[in-house]
Structure 1
Amino acid sequence: MSLVGATSRRLFLASLLRHRLATALSLLAIALGVALGLAVQLIHGAAIDEFGRGLRTLAGEADLQLVGPREGFDEAIYPMLAKRPEIAEASPVLRIEARLPGREDTLEILGVDMFRVARMQALLRPRADPALVDGDGRLAGLQPRNIFVSVDARARLELPSRLGNGEMAGPALRDGVLTVQSGVSGIELRLAGELPLSGAELAVMDIGGAQQMFGRIGVLSRIDLKLAPGLSPEAAGLALSPLLPPGLALQVPEAAAGEASALSRAYRVNLTMLAAIALLTGAFLVFSTQVLSVARRRREFALLRALGMERRQLLRGLLAEGAVLGLVGGVIGVALGHALAALAFRLVGGDLGAGFFRGSRPELQFDAMLAAGYLLLGGVAGVLGSWLPARAASQVAPARALRAGEAQYAGLPHMQGRLPLALLLAAGAGLACMLPPAGGIPLGGYAAVALSLMAAVLSLPALAQSLLPLLGRTRSVIWRLAHARLSATPGQAVVAAAGVVASVALASAMAIMVSSFRVSVDDWLAQVLPADLYVRASSSAASGYLDDDALARIAAVPGVASVDTTRLLNLRLSDEEPVFSLLARPVDGNWGLPLVAGSTGRPDGSKPGQSSLPPAWISEAAVDRLGLGVGDRLTLPLAGRQQSFVVAGVWRDYSRQYGAALIEPADYRALTGDDRVNDAAIRLEEGTDAGAVADALNARFGPGRLIIALPGEIRATTLQIFDRTFLITYLMEAVTVMIGLFGIATTFAALAGTREGEFGMLRHLGFTRGEIGRLIAAEGALTAGFGVACGLLAGGAMAWILIEVVNRQSFHWSMDLAVPWAALVLFAAVLVSLAALVARLAGARAMRGSAVQAVKADW
């Protein structure tokens, strides 16, 4: 037993060093899967931490915050809360995202009560600069046009800004004067000092001045509350929540970070699952490596068994090899994941690729628990990849394995009788698709994807046996030899193509899903952008807006036939549903409204008591999240009251993930009295040049005051953002395809080493080295062809799951199926050609020796 113990370490662990190429490729595959998943988590975690620290800094000593819709709420609630015995201090805040005319960036301005903020939010208390204000500056904070900016914000405002078209816009802050936009008018604010705040780009001014300058009289964005001593936030919330108007909520300052995390959760989880599939593909590569390693060492293991090694010792030794591969690959992956996250922070900040946390610059932090978790995942992948080969090796009888000629191919799996199991897994995938999401995460859909992938790998032998007879009818000797060998050893195709199946299935599924999504988005844009010209004063979140006077001036421009408007608000339906969009825009004649259910008129046979309610049209996400349908009652918090509507239809909306409702502008104005408009859609008179109208609008309102775009420009920009959103997805697909090619290279490199005698005999029969190379290439092409065919079939099934289950449960969007046939055919042809090339290169070493030496073992 001591001999066995001393030999185990050399045989099991040192074998990894003897087969450097296979070991290196397996390590790389696992490392890439670990790195991708860890990088996504690190980027998101750091962005959320940075966001949360900023919220905590701005909240100061506040225990609770009263929050509402993004557009603000009536300040009448403030004195009521300030007088409550539960409240020790109350500090009102008005948040303005001020547009900078002529530039694409904005400046966050907080209007604060200068007396209250000094007691609760010391970092927001401004410091007057004697060089910028008159007198000693003690009353500078109360001047309505004085503004105080952080050091970081001042540095940005004093620099030119690059526009989207490549042009440069001048500094927003010049000679101590900051020009911002309110509506379509410019406002000049005077720089009066700075804030004792670092790491944030924002400005502070008196709340009364902010309300006056930006037309927000009587409006607040939030109220920061410091509770009476000894009172917990939970107890205060229970006492105060019944007193609040609809649409307002009390929450701890850190809750906003949780909401921000929830907004990006679906996208982040999908990226993580892609990384998990890449890691699973790496596990298939470990499986291929270990199967071939076991086949080569079959007689060695039989000898050890004859010398006294027990089955479980052999099993543990081979599993230890896989664990070492996985753990070392995990260590490399953890280091690479941190490097990728650091690179992402340097290049794009905390943006995950879909616009979340854009502009944030978080710092990379080491999370020991997260790193340990991904390191363990690498080890698990290695063990899982080694389990079947180890189990098969431990069950082989020593006497049979020691017979001459037994070791060359006997270790390859026969994989017969696996089709019923594959069908069972496919049925399990179908059942998993029926499961509802868990906490908004489509776990059933992800399980269905994994089961479909395993079913595809197990069905590979059956597919190969079906296709091989059709491919052997040729006069080419090389092709017939390649066909005969794969027919005799189907396990070789299974081992080599396992990684190809996984990578092709993932790549083709994502290609079909992304193509379907892109085509659907393009068609949707064509429906929602029917006008000739679109005008806005700023984004819906910023300070620019269009009022009745601005709309009249637009309508008076020569060539303008009609003007339709859109008002967009973000409402807070509840603490559980913090984000909900309301649009007020015309719906007559299905103008720009892609309905999927209902109609533009009032639903027939409205339920009792709903005949007098104004109609509303809700998005597909609202249907899923609120559980409503055509004819149901929809209740929304508007103007501090709950307003009821009847659902007249359901429409497709790709821009608002958490639900939206659309109502007529006349109904909106009657209920709220709000006459502001975010966007104007202009239809031009016949023969009118859109460029000439755009020039006339800029001349009438002043350069940089309006954002004017043609529908084609909006579509191009939207699709550009779409492609950027899926950039990380494309990179992950490329990684998995490379892993699949690594599997081909590893398999044929290992098999070629065991086939030197076969190649030597072919040389004696007249084959040249080039012809043997073409034979190996043909085998590689055939093997990859089986993997590609099986992977494409599995990819089609996975694409359906992604579109109908994962996408619907994650983002609540439907889409039309659009298969990129030409791209898939090209992808398959290129992959098969590359597989033939890597197989040829991998087998080159086995052909270097002399033909005599190659067959010496057979004499």
Structure 2
Amino acid sequence: MRGLLAGSLRYLRLFHWFSLRHLQGHMMRTVAVLLGIALGAAVFTSVRLAVHATLDSFGRSMDLIAGDSDLTLVRPGGRLPDTLVPALIEHPAVRTASPVLSTYVRPADRETPFLLIGIDPVLDRDLRTWTVQSSGQGADVQWGAIIARPGSVVIGARLGEAFGWRSGEQVRLVHSNRTATFSILAMLDRDGLALVEGGRIALCDIATFQEFTGLFGQADRIDLKIEPGMAADAKASLAALLPAGVVARSPSARSRSGRGMIRAYELSLTFLSFISLFVGMFLVYSLVALNAAARRRELAVMRATGASGRLLFCLFVGEGAFVGLVGWLLALPISTVLVRYLLDAVSRTVSMLFVRVQVDGLSLSPWEVLLSFGVTLTVAVLAALQPAREAMGVPPREALDIDPGTSLRPRLIRNMALGGVGLLALVYPVSRLPSPPSVSLPGYLAAFLLFVGFALLAPLLLRQFGRLAAPRLLRLGGQPAFLAAGYLKESGVQTAISVGALITAVALFTALVVMIHSFRSTVALWVQQSIAGDIYIRPKLAELNRFRDPLPSRVVAAIQSLPVPVELVPMQRLELDLEGHRHLFEAMDYEAYARRSRFIWMGGDAGRIEADLIAGKGAVVSEVFANSTGLNAGDRYRVQVGEQVLDVPILGVFRDYRTRGGAVYYSLTHYRQRFGDDAWSGVQINFSQRGAELREAMERVWSSLLTCCGETIEMIDGRHLRRAVLRIFDETFAITTVLLLIALVVAALGIATTLAVLVLQRRVQINTIRALGGSAAQLRRMIIWEASLIVLAGQAAGLICGFILSTLLIFVVNRQSFGWTFLYRVDWSSLLTALPLISAAALLAALPAVRLALSTSPATLLRGGTR
């Protein structure tokens, strides 16, 4: 142990003398690399922390709502009768049974919704915990008061703070069925149920809830606590007691579904954020390789005086680890700023696309911090391994040689290129491997192989590019351009690594531009064809409440007697469950819908599919549903709807960009005949009048419906809805844009570092040129030509890599992660505009190298200065 400690101290002293002093002596390039690593690590850390906080908030809310229940009874597509509760309590396997209702409501004077939960305070006490803030009477009094005082609620402290509410106040709450006045009985302590939805929650007695919503005798679910030792047989023993269509599920089923969708999004962002670290890896490689090459004579002297190759290897691996550690420490303050932006953007995107999330604060996860540290350090150490290996192989005889050149040997270049081609050949077969649910591991692995493959090809690309360009550049740009091409051909490790970083960043940029444009173009087409109505009407907060509440009968009557000629497209929406897969089921009058709108079909005879759908011969499913369940045209769609089972063939698959499990459409007429359900979940209104008369007709309808039932419905102008969908789409890619810009910044730092390295390596040659009469202007042009060639080579290879990557993202990653694909579209205008800007930014990175090249006198040559 003592010997190990002494050896470690000797190593640290040598590391300080040999490595740290050298890094300090070349501060500019060291700082550039540290900044690149810090940015990459900050992005990776911030993304992980933001998604972890979102996932933690959602999971905590779901767990608190589920409480200590062992089983949950639900009826897919409907609600249960609460008269089941007495019979369940008498069952020998059941310790307690508690009915639960929940809905989102809003204050009459505000648009901000919150969750209202109705429970039986007596039956629920063994399942969920909550306490009220002390009022001197004790908690038991408050429990009883909730039952004894109809129309009373207890609210979360965060809700009270948000709206300025206090105990004893009267508040008016709006539901799709009615608006009613509630009395705030007390404020909840900040524990138990009070933590659901970040504290934006209210509780009331279930009888009060049923009166408010009109759901007399009904419950969303009944939570059960099973007697110890009887859990294994509980489902089977309860089956005979349950009415048709009621099923027993795990309380965590909904939580698992939501977590799965968020984790798919997390993996997507993690991959994008890792790209910045991956680009930073090239910077570390370049720095350590330069340090090893510039000190070959020192290494040879050390070997000649007894230093082992293993010691030299450890010194350079230590340099990589040191850069990774310091870069990670610098990333921490950057992360504290970045994570606040990302937290809001991530939670908003998750709420819009997957499940509603209210993040009440940022929780610092030790695991995420440790993961960030481990990944950053691992990336830096891996980047240093090859230069360290080269350093340990320096023979002692080089102590008498002065040649700090770093050109790659032709054989090594060929071997690297062959390895790159091999990795590229694996991209397609790897992308076709089976994928876990909602996680595109094959897609991300194929993308990583693509990046590494192109990076390994970079040295050969540069050598061939420099060889072919040199004679042409001599005619085009004279001797400065010719020398730049020659240096590019022989520059070796540093330039190849920088080009690899630029290839990665440009490929990511190209792929995301293509993917986002393809996605937006397809969504715009979908919006124009599928959401072509003039006005859409649905109950208040219908989206948040998953369309469980129908339009009140008085609203339906008012719509059917509108004062202008219209065509109505009513629909009934249900959230159903197919073997654990939640999805939207919609019964719709497709014949009326098709007069104005159309589905975008993904194959088959569109006319035949639509005719069979109208005739009730089957259902059609969205691409998301088909990819998530594996059911396609020709398969059977068999699902429990209330007390009955719907079993019909799948007629076709259409594009649809709503998430949350996808959608299934069926004929409204035949749905009513099967299930006797005449309710409307919403209606699309199409006006017969067009042109100048349309606006007047819409205003009359708008005014008429607002007057009769404005508090209970949401009316959306079709044009505004279409714009809102596209705005939501743009917001979901805001995070992607930030990650992309940071990756490009890191790549620019790589170019700046590379050019500085090339200048430092060639200081003797540069001073010789100046001593022989070369002007400062010629040297500037030579370095600018070098930068231009590096950028040109990186962008050309990056474009090729990017188009391959965009295909992976569109047809593999998105399909496996989210269930959808898009029509492939290339935004040439954006690419042709952005790529010159990237070139200009990269060329600006050449300015420090120009100043460095002209910073010393040619007389340095006479002193043998090579540093």
Q: Tell me, yes or no, if the aligned pair for 1:99 and 1:105 is still in contact at 8 Å.
A: yes
Does residue 215 (structure 1) correspond to residue 207 (structure 2)? The answer is no
For the residue of structure 2 that corresponds to 1:834, the secondary structure is helix
User: What does residue 286 of structure 1 align with?
Assistant: 284
1:58 Cα deviation (Å)? 4.3
For the residue of structure 1 that corresponds to 2:435, the secondary structure is coil
Does residue 556 (structure 1) correspond to residue 561 (structure 2)? The answer is yes
Query: Which stretch of structure 1 is more off in the superposition, 329-338 or 308-317?
Result: 329-338
For the residue of structure 2 that corresponds to 1:272, the secondary structure is helix
Which whole-Å CA distance do the structure 2 matches of 1:211 and 1:75 have between them?
A: 11
Query: Which stretch of structure 1 is more off in the superposition, 656-665 or 786-795?
Result: 656-665
Query: Which stretch of structure 1 is more off in the superposition, 641-650 or 789-798?
Result: 641-650
User: What does residue 153 of structure 1 align with?
Assistant: 159
User: What does residue 829 of structure 2 align with?
Assistant: 822
In structure 2, do the counterparts of structure 1 residues 297 and 194 end up closer, same or farther at CA, with 3 Å as the change threshold? same
1:84 Cα deviation (Å)? 1.4
Q: Tell me, yes or no, if the aligned pair for 1:353 and 1:724 is still in contact at 8 Å.
A: no
For the residue of structure 2 that corresponds to 1:735, the secondary structure is helix
Does residue 194 (structure 1) correspond to residue 186 (structure 2)? The answer is yes
Q: Tell me, yes or no, if the aligned pair for 2:539 and 2:681 is still in contact at 8 Å.
A: yes
User: What does residue 665 of structure 1 align with?
Assistant: 668
What does the per-residue CA deviation read over 1:174-223, in whole Å, with 9 as the maximum and x for residues that have no partner? 9614131334xx42223151253434222233323422332323321122
1:449 Cα deviation (Å)? 0.4
User: What does residue 538 of structure 2 align with?
Assistant: 536
Which whole-Å CA distance do the structure 2 matches of 1:422 and 1:739 have between them?
A: 23
Which whole-Å CA distance do the structure 1 matches of 2:622 and 2:683 have between them?
A: 21
1:400 Cα deviation (Å)? 4.6
From 750, 756, 770, the equivalent of 1:743 is: 750
For the residue of structure 1 that corresponds to 2:72, the secondary structure is strand
For the residue of structure 2 that corresponds to 1:740, the secondary structure is helix
Q: Tell me, yes or no, if the aligned pair for 2:285 and 2:384 is still in contact at 8 Å.
A: yes
What does the per-residue CA deviation read over 1:327-353, in whole Å, with 9 as the maximum and x for residues that have no partner? 3323444564455435655x5694456
Q: Tell me, yes or no, if the aligned pair for 1:349 and 1:360 is still in contact at 8 Å.
A: no
Equivalent runs, 1:91-130 vs 2, <5 Å? 91-100=98-107, 103-118=110-125, 120-121=127-128, 123=130
1:494 Cα deviation (Å)? 0.8
Q: Tell me, yes or no, if the aligned pair for 1:745 and 1:838 is still in contact at 8 Å.
A: yes
Which whole-Å CA distance do the structure 1 matches of 2:40 and 2:332 have between them?
A: 10
Does residue 496 (structure 1) correspond to residue 508 (structure 2)? The answer is no
What does the per-residue CA deviation read over 1:664-694, in whole Å, with 9 as the maximum and x for residues that have no partner? 1122223333333232211112233234245
Which whole-Å CA distance do the structure 1 matches of 2:333 and 2:370 have between them?
A: 12
Which 5+ residue runs of structure 2 have no aligned equivalent?
1-5
Which whole-Å CA distance do the structure 2 matches of 1:412 and 1:837 have between them?
A: 31
1:500 Cα deviation (Å)? 0.9
User: What does residue 28 of structure 2 align with?
Assistant: 21
Which whole-Å CA distance do the structure 2 matches of 1:621 and 1:243 have between them?
A: 36
Q: Tell me, yes or no, if the aligned pair for 2:51 and 2:346 is still in contact at 8 Å.
A: no
From 588, 599, 615, the equivalent of 1:593 is: 599
1:834 Cα deviation (Å)? 1.9
In structure 2, do the counterparts of structure 1 residues 90 and 774 end up closer, same or farther at CA, with 3 Å as the change threshold? same
User: What does residue 441 of structure 1 align with?
Assistant: 439
In structure 2, do the counterparts of structure 1 residues 101 and 617 end up closer, same or farther at CA, with 3 Å as the change threshold? farther
Does residue 565 (structure 1) correspond to residue 580 (structure 2)? The answer is no
From 791, 795, 810, the equivalent of 2:802 is: 795
Does residue 370 (structure 1) correspond to residue 368 (structure 2)? The answer is yes
Equivalent runs, 1:20-169 vs 2, <5 Å? 20-69=27-76, 72-75=79-82, 77-100=84-107, 103-118=110-125, 120-121=127-128, 123=130, 141-142=147-148, 144-158=150-164
Query: Which stretch of structure 1 is more off in the superposition, 371-380 or 25-34?
Result: 25-34
Letter in 1 for 2:620: W
Question: How many equivalent pairs are there?
Answer: 833
Equivalent runs, 1:627-638 vs 2, <5 Å? 627-638=630-641
Higher fraction of helix: 2
1:491 Cα deviation (Å)? 4.5
From 747, 752, 759, the equivalent of 1:752 is: 759
User: What does residue 166 of structure 1 align with?
Assistant: none
User: What does residue 164 of structure 1 align with?
Assistant: none
Which whole-Å CA distance do the structure 2 matches of 1:852 and 1:594 have between them?
A: 73
Q: Tell me, yes or no, if the aligned pair for 1:778 and 1:836 is still in contact at 8 Å.
A: no
Which whole-Å CA distance do the structure 1 matches of 2:674 and 2:187 have between them?
A: 40
Does residue 845 (structure 1) correspond to residue 852 (structure 2)? The answer is yes
What does the per-residue CA deviation read over 1:591-619, in whole Å, with 9 as the maximum and x for residues that have no partner? 4322213456776999xxx9998411111
For the residue of structure 2 that corresponds to 1:815, the secondary structure is coil
Which whole-Å CA distance do the structure 1 matches of 2:861 and 2:812 have between them?
A: 55
Q: Tell me, yes or no, if the aligned pair for 2:96 and 2:226 is still in contact at 8 Å.
A: yes
Does residue 761 (structure 1) correspond to residue 755 (structure 2)? The answer is no
Q: Tell me, yes or no, if the aligned pair for 2:133 and 2:188 is still in contact at 8 Å.
A: yes
1:363 Cα deviation (Å)? 3.2
1:112 Cα deviation (Å)? 2.0
In structure 2, do the counterparts of structure 1 residues 120 and 266 end up closer, same or farther at CA, with 3 Å as the change threshold? closer
Which whole-Å CA distance do the structure 2 matches of 1:176 and 1:659 have between them?
A: 41
Letter in 1 for 2:728: I
Q: Tell me, yes or no, if the aligned pair for 1:322 and 1:383 is still in contact at 8 Å.
A: yes
Q: CA RMSD in A?
A: 3.5
Letter in 2 for 1:421: G
What does the per-residue CA deviation read over 1:312-338, in whole Å, with 9 as the maximum and x for residues that have no partner? 222222112112222332344456445
User: What does residue 719 of structure 1 align with?
Assistant: 726
Which whole-Å CA distance do the structure 1 matches of 2:307 and 2:318 have between them?
A: 16
From 510, 518, 525, the equivalent of 1:516 is: 518
For the residue of structure 2 that corresponds to 1:191, the secondary structure is strand
Which whole-Å CA distance do the structure 2 matches of 1:252 and 1:125 have between them?
A: 29
In structure 2, do the counterparts of structure 1 residues 192 and 754 end up closer, same or farther at CA, with 3 Å as the change threshold? closer
User: What does residue 486 of structure 1 align with?
Assistant: 488
1:4 Cα deviation (Å)? 9.7
In structure 2, do the counterparts of structure 1 residues 129 and 111 end up closer, same or farther at CA, with 3 Å as the change threshold? farther
Query: Which stretch of structure 1 is more off in the superposition, 499-508 or 359-368?
Result: 359-368
Letter in 1 for 2:96: E
Equivalent runs, 1:186-335 vs 2, <5 Å? 186-198=178-190, 199=195, 200-228=199-227, 230-231=228-229, 233-234=231-232, 236-237=234-235, 239-240=237-238, 250-251=248-249, 253=251, 256-333=254-331
1:234 Cα deviation (Å)? 4.9
Identical pairs, percent? 26
1:137 Cα deviation (Å)? 11
TM-score when scaled to structure 2? 0.88
Which whole-Å CA distance do the structure 2 matches of 1:817 and 1:501 have between them?
A: 22
Which whole-Å CA distance do the structure 2 matches of 1:821 and 1:569 have between them?
A: 42
1:495 Cα deviation (Å)? 2.8
For the residue of structure 2 that corresponds to 1:844, the secondary structure is helix
In structure 2, do the counterparts of structure 1 residues 354 and 773 end up closer, same or farther at CA, with 3 Å as the change threshold? farther
Q: Tell me, yes or no, if the aligned pair for 1:803 and 1:814 is still in contact at 8 Å.
A: yes
Does residue 679 (structure 1) correspond to residue 682 (structure 2)? The answer is yes
What does the per-residue CA deviation read over 1:10-66, in whole Å, with 9 as the maximum and x for residues that have no partner? 223443333323332333333333332332332233333333444444455544433
TM-score when scaled to structure 1? 0.88
What does the per-residue CA deviation read over 1:342-397, in whole Å, with 9 as the maximum and x for residues that have no partner? 5655x569445663665623333333333222211111101111122222233343
From 653, 665, 670, the equivalent of 1:650 is: 653
Which whole-Å CA distance do the structure 2 matches of 1:643 and 1:83 have between them?
A: 33
User: What does residue 708 of structure 1 align with?
Assistant: 715
Q: Tell me, yes or no, if the aligned pair for 1:67 and 1:223 is still in contact at 8 Å.
A: yes
For the residue of structure 2 that corresponds to 1:731, the secondary structure is helix
Does residue 179 (structure 1) correspond to residue 185 (structure 2)? The answer is no
From 411, 423, 426, the equivalent of 1:425 is: 423
Query: Which stretch of structure 1 is more off in the superposition, 395-404 or 261-270?
Result: 395-404
User: What does residue 168 of structure 1 align with?
Assistant: none
Letter in 1 for 2:485: H
What does the per-residue CA deviation read over 1:247-288, in whole Å, with 9 as the maximum and x for residues that have no partner? 655455555443321121211110011122221111111111
Letter in 1 for 2:278: L
In structure 2, do the counterparts of structure 1 residues 656 and 60 end up closer, same or farther at CA, with 3 Å as the change threshold? closer
In structure 2, do the counterparts of structure 1 residues 209 and 507 end up closer, same or farther at CA, with 3 Å as the change threshold? same
Which whole-Å CA distance do the structure 1 matches of 2:788 and 2:240 have between them?
A: 70
Q: Tell me, yes or no, if the aligned pair for 1:295 and 1:409 is still in contact at 8 Å.
A: yes
Which whole-Å CA distance do the structure 2 matches of 1:703 and 1:558 have between them?
A: 17
Which whole-Å CA distance do the structure 2 matches of 1:427 and 1:80 have between them?
A: 64
Which whole-Å CA distance do the structure 2 matches of 1:394 and 1:825 have between them?
A: 46
